[in-house]
Amino acid sequence: MIHQLSSHGLLDIKIEAKGDYHIDDHHTNEDVGISLGMALAKALGDKKGIRRFGHFVAPLDEALVEVVLDFSGRQHLAYGLDIPTERVGTYDTQLVREFYAAVASNAQMTLHIRQLDGINSHHIIEVRTCTDRIQ
């Protein structure tokens, strides 16, 4: 997810995370979301000169996801992804929501992620990185 965010969002992101992987990825996933949200908030500063609102719809094969955000200074996540499998590779798909909740909370942004179509878990998760290209 971070690689997609970096490459499509034209952002230089380097994250090194150590966690309790022997238990599961939950806390590390959430901590990375917290750190990314805090970095966004810091980078945006007083938000002067930015476009406050963003909207984007992106396809990836059969999957179609819409992302709408508002750098309002208020945290909210409306999460509407229906990921059909519990895992993609070793990644627990329940962690996608946890990641974006942490980002939205710490960036102090309103974030709506809605799946319009799709049945392949990998495609749904990957296309939600359309947050990278919001204009």
The residue among 135 and 92 whose pLDDT is bigger is 92
pLDDT of residue 2: 67
* Residue 53: Cβ within 10 Å count: 13
Shortest CA distance to 107 belongs to which of 59, 38, 48? 38
Q: Which of 4-18, 74-88, 98-112 has the lowest mean pLDDT?
A: 4-18
pLDDT at 66 over 80: yes
The residue among 129 and 69 whose pLDDT is bigger is 69
Binned at pLDDT 50, 70 and 90, residue 58 comes out as confident
Residue 99 CA to residue 116 CA, distance in Å, equals 20
pTM: 0.87
Q: Is 31 helix (H, G, I), strand (E, B) or coil?
A: helix
